């Protein structure tokens, strides 16, 4: 695991090349097992029911879901009703290395971006423990990642996140708006098809 850390803003850290190729392959293979146990599903916007352009699943004690009833965390898959599978060890190790937080993550969102998928600017604020960071890991094709400030109208910047890169969103930047403008197909050979996998590790509840 690379030790390079680049500060994009206070609490917002980019770790390029955090996972080397061998680690990326181990994580990719572990995620295949996760998806077998918890198949990808399509989240939908609250109220309107409009489908997201990404498909997703989760691993860990809790999983994030979105449908017409709203955003929430729950312990079971919305389609199968089964508990989410455990987080792979390499995911937990990444949290230990990057988060700088004494308690383990409770949810790992696994988003699958096809070549044309994107995600609009948003805040991660469905967690009750906002003192814990969000840790992001990228696999596959490079993404154009956009981030701004804690107000939606704040100026934004963009960087490219390559396969193996990590981002930590915490501290004064915990509630910054961020999103993915586009995927750059053909920039990685890790996956069997064009696209990107993004994992976001989150602590959901306040430590007891």
Q: Where are the domains of the chain?
A: 6-202
Q: What is the rounded distance in angstroms from the CA atom of residue 62 to the CA atom of residue 54?
A: 19
- Per-residue pLDDT at 80: 97
- Please give the chain's pLDDT, 208 residues, in tens: 778 999 999 999 999 999 999 999 999 999 999 999 999 999 999 989 999 999 999 999 999 999 999 999 999 999 999 999 999 999 999 999 999 999 999 999 999 999 999 999 999 999 999 999 999 999 999 999 999 999 999 999 999 999 999 999 999 999 999 999 999 999 999 999 999 999 999 999 998 7
Question: What's the pLDDT at 47?
Answer: 83
With 0.85 as the threshold, say if the pTM is over it.
yes
> How far is residue 183 from each of residues 38, 61, 125, 199, measured CA to CA in Å?
24, 30, 24, 15
Question: Given this model, what pLDDT does residue 70 score?
Answer: 92
**What is the pLDDT at residue 2?**
73
CA distance 6 to 105: 23
Q: What is the pLDDT of residue 81?
A: 97
Query: For strand 12-15 and strand 6-9, is the pairing parallel, antiparallel, or unpaired?
Result: antiparallel
Dihedral Cα 79, 83, 84, 90, nearest 10 deg: -160
- List beta partners, residue 73: 64
- The answer to whether the Cα torsion of 52, 132, 173, 100 is positive or negative is negative
Fold annotation for 6-202: Jelly Rolls (2.60.120)
CA separation for the pair 97, 28 (Å, rounded): 19
Instruction: For residue 35, give both structure tokens.
Output: 């998806």
């Amino acid at each position: 695991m690379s030790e390079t850390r680049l500060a994009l803003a206070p609490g917002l850290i980019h770790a390029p090349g955090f996972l080397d190729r061998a680690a990326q392959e181990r994580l990719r293979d572990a995620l295949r097992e996760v998806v077998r146990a918890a198949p990808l599903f399509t989240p939908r916007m609250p109220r309107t029911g409009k489908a997201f352009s990404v498909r997703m699943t989760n691993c860990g004690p809790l999983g994030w879901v979105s449908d017409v009833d709203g955003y929430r965390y729950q312990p079971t898959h919305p389609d199968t009703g089964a508990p989410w599978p455990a987080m792979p060890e390499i995911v937990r190790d990444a949290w230990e290395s990057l988060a700088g937080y004494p308690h383990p993550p409770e949810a790992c969102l696994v988003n699958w971006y096809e070549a044309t998928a994107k995600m609009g600017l948003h805040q991660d604020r469905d967690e009750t423990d906002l003192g814990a960071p969000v840790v992001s890991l990228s696999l596959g094709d490079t993404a154009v990642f956009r981030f701004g400030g804690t107000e939606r109208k704040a100026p934004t910047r963009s960087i490219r996140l390559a396969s193996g890169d990590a981002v930590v969103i915490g501290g004064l930047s915990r509630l910054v708006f961020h999103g993915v403008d586009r995927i750059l197909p053909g920039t990685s050979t890790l996956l069997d098809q064009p696209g990107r996998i993004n994992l976001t590790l989150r602590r959901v509840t306040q430590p007891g």
